[in-house]
């Protein structure tokens, strides 16, 4: 019997999430694809959805999980672009914490043969968010500075790698400086502590230069430190709120420095963007993952039955990467990499 992780009320994830059996498989529609899911990350958005604090909430009861990867086990009569055994990621922002998912053919993206599924299962959210952040710098000269907090997050590390490939310099702020060697290897030009001393160090490192873009995943005082490093007319893009603290910006910074504040929600980009552009973007990023040029450290992989421990691990600081759920990695067909 296949299983899923579902919830029928909002609240603390450990209290609401339940391991439930999936109903017997139904017959496929002509445009549908059946996928045996292999693995899925635990993202802040997943926890927020269960808590009831995310921007768009599913109808209850719901299966949790915003992204995941697996392999095709069956296709409908009108599906010709996918075949049994293809590795795919879900483009549907829900229901991925399930050992089997059935969805319309357009809701699956085929991965390059031989890709690492544990990395590929994180394709849909973090790398795309980082790519979208960099689009704000189109036309900017090589060597321009980007500053970011939560640089050891999935988005942060993807942004460091992509910015380095694009010729930009990055100043990465983190709460724990033990991340510095890893982030430097990912492409960071400099790594400083996310505190007042770190800000002073950042100013010295940048030597009077200022950043054109700030990527904010934290809010509160951390976001103000990023703003203090921005050039006049520079933009801070907020894509997360890890501190759950509001952003209070001095009026003078807006009036006299003309700083721009904006937000980024990757789910909205998926809803508003032409499908061909989405797939083109995913193809580029999947190619980087396949080559090893884009990779996020994985802290631990938990089985579905160990989901309480997985949730606890994903909610604490000091992790050394992403927490993944094993939805069926051991059941992968021969020849498909784990």
In this predicted structure, the answer to whether residue 292 has a pLDDT above a threshold of 70 is yes
In this predicted structure, the answer to whether residue 316 has a pLDDT above a threshold of 90 is no
Q: Cis peptide leading into 235, omega within 30 of 0?
A: no
CATH 3.40.50.720 domain extents, the chain: 126-267
Question: How far, in Å, CA of 97 to CA of 328, rounded?
Answer: 11
Whether the CB-CB separation of 296 and 322 falls below 8 Å is answered with yes
Whether the CB-CB separation of 226 and 217 falls below 8 Å is answered with no
Question: How far, in Å, CA of 198 to CA of 59, rounded?
Answer: 44
For 84, the token pair is 């049994």
In terms of CATH, what superfamily is 3-122+296-331? Answer: Medium-chain alcohol dehydrogenases, catalytic domain (3.90.180.10)
Report the percentage of the chain scoring pLDDT > 70. 99
CATH architecture for segment(s) 126-267: 3-Layer(aba) Sandwich (3.40)
The bridge status of strand 3-7 relative to strand 18-21 is antiparallel
For 332, the token pair is 């992968």
What are the pLDDT digits (tens) for 139-195? 899 999 999 999 999 999 999 999 999 999 999 999 999 999 999 999 999 999 999
The answer to whether the predicted template modeling score (pTM) of the entire model surpasses 0.75 is: yes
What are the pLDDT digits (tens) for 123-154? 999 999 999 999 999 889 999 999 999 999 99
User: Quick one: pLDDT band at residue 26, thresholds 50, 70, 90?
Assistant: confident
In this predicted structure, the answer to whether residue 17 has a pLDDT above a threshold of 80 is yes
Q: What is the DSSP string of 113-182?
A: TT--HHHHTTTTTHHHHHHHHHHTTTTPPTT-EEEESSTTSHHHHHHHHHHHHTT-EEEEEES-GGGHHH
Supply the pLDDT for residue 334: 66
Give the list of residues 6+ apart from residue 186 with CB closer than 8 angstroms, or none.
157, 160, 161, 164
Supply the pLDDT for residue 10: 96
Q: What is the mean pLDDT of the chain?
A: 94
In this predicted structure, the answer to whether residue 331 has a pLDDT above a threshold of 80 is no
Does 270 qualify as catalytic in the annotation?
no
Supply the pLDDT for residue 337: 66
Report the percentage of the chain scoring pLDDT > 90. 86
CATH 3.90.180.10 domain extents, the chain: 3-122+296-331
Supply the pLDDT for residue 335: 62
Supply the pLDDT for residue 100: 96
Distance, first Cα to last Cα, the chain:
22
Of the residues 54, 71, 108, 145, which is catalytic?
54
User: Quick one: pLDDT band at residue 244, thresholds 50, 70, 90?
Assistant: confident
| Mean pLDDT on 58-69 | 95
- Between 272 and 338, residue with greater pLDDT: 272
Question: How far, in Å, CA of 32 to CA of 79, rounded?
Answer: 7
């Amino acid at each position: 019997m296949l299983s899923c992780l579902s919830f029928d009320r909002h609240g603390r994830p450990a209290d609401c999430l339940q391991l439930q059996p999936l109903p017997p498989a139904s017959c496929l529609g002509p445009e549908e694809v059946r996928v045996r899911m292999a693995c899925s990350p635990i993202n802040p958005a997943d926890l927020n959805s269960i808590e009831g604090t995310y921007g768009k909430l599913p109808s209850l009861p719901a299966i949790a999980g915003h992204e995941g990867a697996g392999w095709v086990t069956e296709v409908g009569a009108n599906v010709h672009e996918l075949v049994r055994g293809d590795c795919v990621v879900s483009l549907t922002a829900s229901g991925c914490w399930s050992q089997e998912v059935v969805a319309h053919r357009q809701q699956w993206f085929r991965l390059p043969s031989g890709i690492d599924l544990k990395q590929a299962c994180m394709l849909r959210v973090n790398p795309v968010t980082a790519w979208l952040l960099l689009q704000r710098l189109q036309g900017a000269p090589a060597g321009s500075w980007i500053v970011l907090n939560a640089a050891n997050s999935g988005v942060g590390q993807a942004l460091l790698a992509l910015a380095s490939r694009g010729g930009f310099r990055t100043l990465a702020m983190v709460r724990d400086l033990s991340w510095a060697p890893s982030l430097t290897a990912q492409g960071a030009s400099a790594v400083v502590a996310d505190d007042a001393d770190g800000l002073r160090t950042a100013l010295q490192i940048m030597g009077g230069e200022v950043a054109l873009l700030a990527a904010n995943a934290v809010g509160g005082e951390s976001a103000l430190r990023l703003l203090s490093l921005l050039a006049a007319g520079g933009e801070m893009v907020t894509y997360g709120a890890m501190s759950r603290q509001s952003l209070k910006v001095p009026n003078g910074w807006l009036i006299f420095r003309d700083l721009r504040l904006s937000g980024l929600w990757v789910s909205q980009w998926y809803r508003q963007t032409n499908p061909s552009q989405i797939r083109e973007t995913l193809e580029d990023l999947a190619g980087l993952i396949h080559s090893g040029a884009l990779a996020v450290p994985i802290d631990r992989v938990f089985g579905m039955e160990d989901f309480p421990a997985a949730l606890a691990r994903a909610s604490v600081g000091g992790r050394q990467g992403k927490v993944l759920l094993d939805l069926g990695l051991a059941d992968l067909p021969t020849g498909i990499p784990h």
